């Protein structure tokens, strides 16, 4: 098979969703081994949502230790075309945004990585590598190795990733089965009357600035074994901004992704809400870039009724105990709500 025919087949297998436009754009591959810099959503970016076939399990190897298994892993990730890497089309994986439930324990998983598809042989090959913040563990690496890709189902992903350099008695394994989320399933939201508070040192003042911008909300499959009625949705394409002020003479941009949940929680079955996110905060013209985890915990909901498409009204402080420290006071409506206009 010659090179031109190989790339023709790859383009066809990707379905023209990303690769065709990206090849025409002349973009080059990103630097492997580093987290990709944040970028605005455009024609080269696709959001993938984990399907029901995804699962998590552990391999105890030769050891007489318990193994774990759970199908309750859900969430999203973004793939951006990054050019060619040898004989492969390369994609940066951004904003890995998952939630895992094993028994009574919940773990938030975030991170980044790289996806390759192509090859010079007669069989289309693929490889997915991820570096994940697994709960409070930073930098846990997973790798599928090169495995055949089924061109009849691409751009759907279906790969089995194993933890790299793991304890032989406890190796984590994740099946990543994910499909592209069409724009029709993304609900655009707009911030209003929102703010961000920042403290840049332990003894420094708290700087409060107005916050504007957009994000999109994607419904996640319900937990089949859920004992309480809780709805879950991914928040993606976070694009928030705060202007320079007299107290902070540089603008702030915020990118990232998170998971929003609302439902009846607790013994009294009150309607509550919760938002968790991993966000990149960019001060000025890339003068300072930091990525932190934020979380609200369960908070009372702003309505006594069960909303199908909710207004989000919640405070979400930084969970990482480091400075600079930030907290977001968010109020966001879907853009088709009464009194809300504009398209992100």
Examine the pLDDT at 220 and tell me if it is beyond 50: yes
Mean pLDDT, residues 101-121: 94
Could you tell me if 151 and 13 are in contact, meaning their C-beta atoms sit under 8 angstroms apart? yes
CA triple 301-261-181, angle to 5 deg: 135
- The yes-or-no verdict on residue 203 having pLDDT over 80 is yes
For residue 22, pLDDT over 50 is answered with no
Confidence grade of residue 337 (pLDDT, cut at 50, 70, 90): low
Residue 307's Cβ-side half-sphere holds a number of Cα atoms within 13 Å equal to: 18
Q: What is the pLDDT of residues 260-310, one digit of tens each?
A: 999 887 666 678 899 999 999 999 876 789 999 999 999 988 766 667 788
Name the burial class of residue 297, with classes exposed (0-12), middle (13-18) and buried (19+) by CB atoms within 10 angstroms of its CB.
middle
At 44 the pLDDT is: 66
Lowest mean pLDDT among 11-25, 65-79, 83-97, 204-218: 11-25
What is the enclosing helix (H) or strand (E) of 333? strand 325-334
Query: Bigger pLDDT: 264 or 27?
Result: 264
If pLDDT is split at 50, 70 and 90, which confidence band does 161 have? Answer: very high
SS3 11: helix
Instruction: Examine the pLDDT at 19 and tell me if it is beyond 60.
Output: no
Q: Which residue has the higher pLDDT, 310 or 193?
A: 193
Residues 105, 44 contacting (CB under 8 angstroms): no
pLDDT (0 to 100) of residue 21: 36
Residues 214, 194 contacting (CB under 8 angstroms): no
Average pLDDT over residues 185-208: 96
Which class for 11: exposed (0-12), middle (13-18), buried (19 or more C-beta within 10 A)? middle
pLDDT at 104 (0 to 100): 87
Looking at 17-26, 129-138, 276-285, which range is the least confident one? 17-26
Which carries the bigger pLDDT value, residue 269 or residue 233?
233
Q: What is the largest CA-CA distance in the chain?
A: 66
Average pLDDT over residues 332-339: 74
Cα–Cα distance measured from residue 93 to residue 81, given in angstroms and rounded to the nearest whole number:
9
Q: CB-based contacts of 184: which residues, under 8 Å, 6+ apart? A: none
CA 209/CA 203 separation, integer angstroms: 19
Instruction: Report residue 339: phi and psi, to 5°.
Output: 85, 0
pLDDT of residue 5: 37
| pLDDT the model gives residue 322 | 93
Cβ atoms within 10 Å, residue 310:
22
**Distance set, CA 121 to CA 19, 69, 146 (Å):** 19, 35, 12
Please write the tens of the pLDDT for every residue from 43-85: 468 999 999 999 999 999 999 888 999 999 999 999 999 999 9
Query: How much is the pLDDT for 8?
Result: 43
Q: What pLDDT is stored for residue 24 in this prediction?
A: 32
pLDDT of residue 30: 35
In the structure, what pLDDT confidence band is assigned to residue 151 with cuts at 50, 70 and 90?
confident
CB of 22 within 8 A of CB of 30? no
**Percent of the chain, pLDDT > 70?**
80
- The helix/strand/coil state of 339 is coil
Chain centre distance of CA 341: 26
Q: What is the pLDDT of residue 306?
A: 64
| DSSP helix/strand/coil, 336 | coil
């Amino acid at each position: 098979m010659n090179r031109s025919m190989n790339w023709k087949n790859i383009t066809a297998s990707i379905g023209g969703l990303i690769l065709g436009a990206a090849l025409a754009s002349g973009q080059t591959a990103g630097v492997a081994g580093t987290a990709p810099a944040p970028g605005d959503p455009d024609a080269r970016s696709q959001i993938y949502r984990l399907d029901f076939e995804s699962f998590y399990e552990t391999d105890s190897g030769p050891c007489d230790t318990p193994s774990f298994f759970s199908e309750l892993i859900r969430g999203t990730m973004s793939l951006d075309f990054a050019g060619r890497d040898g004989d492969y089309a390369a994609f940066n994986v951004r904003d890995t945004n998952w939630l895992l439930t094993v028994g009574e324990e919940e773990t938030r998983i975030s991170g980044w990585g790289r996806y390759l598809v192509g090859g010079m042989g007669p069989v289309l090959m693929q490889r997915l590598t991820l570096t994940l913040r697994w709960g409070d563990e930073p930098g846990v690496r997973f790798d599928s190795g090169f495995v055949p890709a089924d061109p009849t189902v691409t751009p759907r992903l279906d790969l089995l990733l194993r933890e790299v350099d793991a304890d032989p008695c406890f190796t984590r394994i994740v099946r990543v089965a994910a499909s592209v989320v069409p724009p029709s399933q993304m609900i655009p939201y707009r911030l209003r009357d929102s703010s961000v508070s920042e403290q840049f040192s332990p003894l420094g003042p708290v700087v409060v600035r107005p916050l504007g911008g957009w994000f999109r909300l994607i419904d996640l499959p319900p937990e089949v074994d859920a004992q309480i009625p809780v709805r879950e949705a991914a928040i993606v394409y976070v694009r928030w901004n705060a202007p320079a002020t007299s107290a902070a003479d540089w603008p702030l941009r915020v990118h990232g992704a998170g998971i929003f949940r609302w439902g009846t929680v607790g013994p009294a079955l009150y309607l509550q809400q919760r938002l968790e996110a991993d966000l990149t905060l960019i001060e000025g013209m890339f003068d300072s870039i930091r990525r932190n985890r934020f979380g609200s915990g369960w908070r009372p909901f702003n309505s006594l009724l069960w909303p199908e498409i909710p207004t989000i009204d919640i405070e979400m402080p930084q969970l990482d105990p480091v400075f600079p420290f930030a907290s977001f006071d968010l109020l966001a409506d879907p853009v088709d709500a009464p009194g809300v206009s504009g398209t992100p």
